[in-house]
Amino acid sequence: MRKFLMIGAAAVTLVGLGAAATAAQTPRNEAFRMVGLFGDVLGIVEQAYVVPVDDKKLIEAALQGMMTALDPHSSYLAPDGYGRLRERTEGQYSGVGLTISAEGGLIKIISPMDGGPAARAGVQAGDVISSIDGLSASGLTVSQVSEKLRGAIGTSVKVTFLRDGEDPNDVVLTRETIKIDSVSGRLEGDFGYLRISMFNENTGRELTETVTRLKSENPNIKGYVLDLRNNGGGLLDAAIAVSDTFLDRGEIVSQRGRKVDQIQRYSARPGDLSGGLPVVVLINYGSASASEIVAGALKDHQRATIVGLTSFGKGSVQTVIPLRGGQDGALSITTARYYTPSGASIQKIGIEPDLEVARSEAEARIVSRSNFNYTEAAYATALDASIGFERKGPHTPHEAPGETYDKEKDYQLQRALDVLRAGGQLAQLTAAPEGVVVTEPGQQMAASEPAEDPAN
């Protein structure tokens, strides 16, 4: 500790001498001055705070604060957090099955993991964690909340969730091993349904195996639905592998860094495992990052029709840099933006569907209201898109089930299958079935309340 403070003091002294010798300080000198200030503040806290402090926790919190000041997805990972990240990308970890992020002092759900405790309890993308075991979650970091949600397998945690227009919901979640089979599939009549819950090291292999299995079960299969709803993303390599499954050639995605020459492009290899059959991709506002890479690539190449709601809009690249081989944790730092093959930025904009369909009347109301429409663009510190486009604002989706529609049916999936029955051509799509509200731009759903004024 003393050595650290001496370094800080030395930095202050040097900067002071430099300021006397020059008319203006350089940015580097100013950085040294602030490092010295950090050491001074830490020393004062250590000596003057009302109770003894843990220096390590304070410094880790400062590192985390520094990274989150950059953007919502840059972070410092303590050694245990770095270990958990590696577990998740390898396809297995323990917990309650939630992908979360922080914004404005709130912890929000990006997506619940398929089949996990939270998903089974009805937790949805966009829900806010209000408290954990009776203690407020306000102001906690993602790492702190993750630590509280984790624990021994079989133990329980009580979490209070907030959802727009509803009373707080107390849910008791039992922790378990979350073994993620990232791909599942089944036949829906003459079509294959492919669900990808996240993108990990096994996703490409699992998708190939699932498509092969479905073709063996029905050699006359006529097309595929690729369901990426509430898929919060994962590994870039997995997103490329999934896109490559349905593409025979062409660029999949590019990433562009800080410098003009920092451009990296990823392209498909020859061979379309689906044999060129029609594909429909299902997305919603819980589809983020790798999900958006896949949807954007297949849309730009006119290889798939996109059905659902505009995706989350996370189009930034995070590079994980281990510190001292991981012994001191790691930095997950934003190093580039993603662009679709047409050159469109995903960041803050997302992928717009070809056929905009809400799964329920309640979901349509969320999209029509700005105060709870949870997207990347809602982050105060979100990286900009780098191009002159903006995400479509609050509006009523084109189609949404009304009060008379059978709530046991997955309306978005039904419309995806309708598109496949029409040969993948929206122009040949039949009209929405009875019990569904169809609106034109600017209209409000007959069954919904008017959008709220965000100032109220």
Burial 122-155 (b: 16+ CB within 10 A, else e): ebbbbbbbbbbeeeebeebbbbbbbebbbeeeee
Measuring CA to CA, how many Å separate 110 from each of 99, 131, 171? 5, 17, 18
> Known catalytic residue: 314?
yes
The residue annotated as part of the active site, out of 143, 287, 289, 332, is 289
Distance CA 27, CA 181 (A): 49
- Domains in the chain, number: 3
Residues 132 and 264 in one domain: no
Question: What is the span of the domain harbouring residue 26?
Answer: 2-53
Does 450 map to a domain?
no
Residues 314 and 402 in one domain: yes
In the chain, the N- to C-terminal Cα span, in Å, equals 50
Residues 6+ apart with CB under 8 A from 11: 32, 33, 35, 36, 39
Binned average pLDDT, 10 residues per bin, the chain of 456 residues: 30 36 64 92 95 93 90 87 67 77 79 86 90 90 84 91 88 86 93 94 95 97 96 92 97 93 94 96 94 98 97 92 89 93 94 95 81 75 81 88 84 96 90 81 38 30
Does 371 map to a domain?
yes
Residues 259 and 354 in one domain: yes
Residues 139 and 216 in one domain: no
Secondary structure element (H or E) that encloses residue 211, with its range: helix 203-217
Residues 6+ apart with CB under 8 A from 286: 110, 111, 124, 125, 126, 229, 230, 231, 232, 312
Residue 267: per-residue pLDDT: 98
Residues 224 and 100 in one domain: no
Residue 339: per-residue pLDDT: 95
Residues 38 and 171 in one domain: no
CATH of the domain at 121: 2.30.42.10
* Coil/strand/helix, residue 196: strand
Residues 372 and 415 in one domain: yes
Residue 195: per-residue pLDDT: 96
**Nearest Cα to 233, choosing from 111, 374, 358, 92?**
111
Residues 190 and 112 in one domain: no
CA 368 to chain centre: 21
Residue 108: per-residue pLDDT: 86
> Known catalytic residue: 448?
no
Q: What is the CA radius of gyration of the chain?
A: 24
Question: Diameter of the chain by CA atoms?
Answer: 81
Single-letter amino acid code for the residue at 440: E
Does 284 map to a domain?
yes
Residues in the chain: 456
Last residue of a domain, one of 178, 211, 230: 178
Does 218 map to a domain?
yes
Does 79 map to a domain?
no
Residue 381: per-residue pLDDT: 86
Last residue of a domain, one of 178, 207, 241: 178
Does 288 map to a domain?
yes
Residue 440: per-residue pLDDT: 65
Residue 91: per-residue pLDDT: 54
Residues 209 and 278 in one domain: yes
Residue 31: per-residue pLDDT: 87
**Nearest Cα to 126, choosing from 150, 146, 100, 157?**
100
Residues 311 and 402 in one domain: yes
Residues 17 and 128 in one domain: no
The residue annotated as part of the active site, out of 127, 227, 244, 300, is 300
Distance CA 69, CA 76 (A): 11
**Nearest Cα to 340, choosing from 304, 384, 299, 302?**
299
> Known catalytic residue: 392?
no
pTM: 0.76
Does 78 map to a domain?
no
For CA atoms 116, 119, 123, 126, the dihedral sign is: positive
Does 282 map to a domain?
yes
The residue annotated as part of the active site, out of 314, 316, 348, 418, is 314
Last residue of a domain, one of 127, 150, 178: 178
Residues 174 and 184 in one domain: no
Distance CA 308, CA 295 (A): 11
Residue 81: per-residue pLDDT: 73
Each as own residue / partner, the long-range contacts of residues 82-89 (CB below 8 Å, 24 or more positions apart, any chain) are: 82/320, 82/322, 82/326, 82/329, 82/330, 83/326, 84/146, 84/150, 85/320, 85/330, 85/332, 88/180, 88/200, 89/200, 89/201, 89/234, 89/235
For CA atoms 72, 77, 83, 86, the dihedral sign is: positive
Secondary structure element (H or E) that encloses residue 244, with its range: helix 236-246
Distance CA 289, CA 272 (A): 23
